[in-house]
Amino acid sequence: MRSFSEIETAVKRATRGMGFSWGIAEEVGKNIRLLEMFGLPGFKNINQYFKDLRNQEFEKISTISSVNNSKSLYCPITMGLNFFDQSIHLKDANNIQINNLGFPLLFIPFVSRTSEIIGKRIFLKIDNKEFLFNFNQAVYSNYLSGDIVEKGEKTELKFMENNNLFSEEEWSELYKFSENTFVEETDELKQSAAGAGLTDND
């Protein structure tokens, strides 16, 4: 089995070999490592993407808006980089839609890393595949296949509000359990506590 470090290094070098800058190659290497750690087929998808890239032109995007349409297919790397860079301004949008995104699984790590940067969960839907990103720490998904996904016809993103999954009543109930650890202060405890009995000679 190849290690995550081997995967990252191989992808980084391959990305540079495809004409991307070393800076972008570094980012893509980290991304594929992240996908593989999440159990998603990053290596297979980037390999196929590079094979297609030799014979097919993917549209690059500079500014991301609420609705983004491509007559061909968007480049997932360019889309991801710009989404990551513009996320501070995009996070207040209710929804972002991307139509015709090439190899959309390669876009996923950019979204996951963005979730950590902006401090919000992000919901991503690629056609019928759903993903929920939690601050780049975990991902929930209904997609369990190891297949190559060459096209996302409709990709939607939604920034989630940070709300607790429990009520204030439940918080109070649990807090009461913690009160069992509190020790009532007595005169004996006061005398034996840290600093007790010290004489101030100043």
The pLDDT score that the predictor gives to residue 77 is: 98
The residue with tokens 């990252």 is 8
Q: What is the pLDDT of residue 17?
A: 98
101, β-bridge pairs:
74, 152
Per-residue pLDDT, 94: 77
In a domain? residue 182: no
Q: Between the CA atoms of 85, 45, 65 and 141, what dihedral angle is there, to the nearest 10 degrees?
A: -90
The torsion angle over the Cα atoms of residues 32, 156, 102 and 88, rounded to 10 degrees, is -60
Q: What is the mean pLDDT of each run of 10 residues along the chain (202 residues)?
A: 96 98 98 96 98 96 95 97 93 90 98 94 96 91 92 96 91 91 67 57 54
- Residue 202 covered by a domain: no
pLDDT of residue 67: 96
pLDDT score for 79: 98
- What is the rounded distance in angstroms from the CA atom of residue 166 to the CA atom of residue 25? 42
pLDDT value for 199: 52
In a domain, 191, yes or no: no
User: 183 lies in a domain?
Assistant: no
Is this model's pTM higher than 0.85 or not? Answer: no
DSSP, res 104: G
Q: Residue 179 domain-assigned?
A: no
- Kind and range of the H or E element at 23? helix 22-37
In a domain, 143, yes or no: yes
- Answer whether residue 8 is part of any domain: yes
Q: How far apart are CA 124 and CA 95, in angstroms?
A: 10
Looking at residue 186, its pLDDT comes to: 65
Token code pair at residue 172: 């109070």
Domain-located, residue 18: yes
Number of domains in the chain: 1
Domain span at residue 73 reads 4-159
Half-sphere exposure of 23 (CA within 13 A, CB side): 2
